[in-house]
Copies of this chain bind each other. A is one copy, B any other.
Amino acid sequence: MEIREVFARNLKAARQAKGLSQEELAFRAGLDRTYISSLERRVYNASIDVVDRLAIALDVEASELLKRPPGTKIKLLR
């Protein structure tokens, strides 16, 4: 699974686990709502600053947002 998909899935799951809308998460992280939506659709190649900003807003570790589900194969974006 490509890292953008890993991040998209983890971001959405963490946001929903907190009961936050994309709008609320965007506000907390100081980012634009449309950017959150794009990240959850794997459109952008997020930077580690953005990953950390979102992790802080979600009160999770940044590394958690890049964790692959056990057993998934690594697939590199060519």
Q: Which residues of B contact A67 (CB under 8 A)?
A: 61, 63
- Of the candidates B53, B61, B66, the one whose C-beta lies within 8 Å of that of A48 is B66
- Whether A62 pairs with B51 at a CB distance below 8 angstroms is no
| Copies of this chain, tallied across the complex | 2
* A3, A51, A67, A77: most-surrounded residue (chain B CB, <10 A): A3
- Whether A52 pairs with B64 at a CB distance below 8 angstroms is no
- Whether B49 pairs with A47 at a CB distance below 8 angstroms is no
Given contacts A47-B45, A48-B3, whether A56 and B76 have CB atoms under 8 Å apart is: yes
Given contacts A61-B67, A63-B64, A68-B63, whether A7 and B48 have CB atoms under 8 Å apart is: yes
Q: Which residues of B contact A63 (CB under 8 A)?
A: 63-68
